[in-house]
Amino acid sequence: MRTDPAYQAYANIMAFDLGGGSLEVTAIRGQHYVLARSFPLGSVRMTNGYLRGGAGVVDELDQASIRTHLMGVLQTIIPANAAENYLIIGAGGAFAAVALHLEAMGEPPVGGRLPVLRIRELRDRMCALDLDGRRKIPGIPADRADIMPAALITLCVLADLTGAESFHLSHYGVRHGMVELLLGPSGEHLLT
């Protein structure tokens, strides 16, 4: 196993790729996959299943329903406090929308990090508004306003489960983003 610091910094990676229909969870420890699962927990599914299409305000009961379902499925899969042992990566439209919102608010992600505190604040703001109100939030694509509450609730549950204080944004899918982190953008950290 390689011991150089550049490689070791990314030797353990846990990545979440949240789409409309599914949530992919992948973890690499060193050069070995230790987790690769797909769950039917996408933002569109959660919105249609728990938020009646996402047009109205998302009250505490709706949020609790999504949270309880997510925890029931994921808490035995995702190691508690995984952020202590893994770099936590986020990929997919919800993570990208958070980054766009932060940029629009004059707080662009530093080093690709999306602070969980800001994600929680955005969740609370979006859940308190109806669809028309959510479409006016700076940086959030209007075509995602209906599914963003469910997506943000999901991101908060992932943060709770992993103990992450931030997600490292990948603009690529999980596999591509993890390969780039392992190899570097130009392949300078090639695995041997």
**Over the stretch 7-27, which tens digit does the pLDDT of each residue have?**
445 579 999 999 999 999 999
Residue 68 has pLDDT above 80, yes or no: yes
In this prediction the pTM is 0.86
Q: Give the residue-averaged pLDDT of 174-186.
A: 55
Which domains are seen in the chain, by residue range? 5-183 (3.30.420.150)
Give dist(CA 43, CA 136) in Å, integer. 20
Q: Give the chain's count of helices (H) and strands (E).
A: 8, 6
* pLDDT class of 113 with cuts at 50, 70, 90: very high
Tokens encoding 83: 């952020």
**Shortest CA distance to 182 belongs to which of 4, 2, 3, 7?**
7
Provide the edge-to-edge strand list for the sheet that holds 166-170. Answer: 32-39, 23-29, 12-18, 87-91, 166-170, 113-115
State pLDDT tens for residues 130-153.
999 999 999 999 999 999 999 999
pLDDT in the model for residue 189? 43
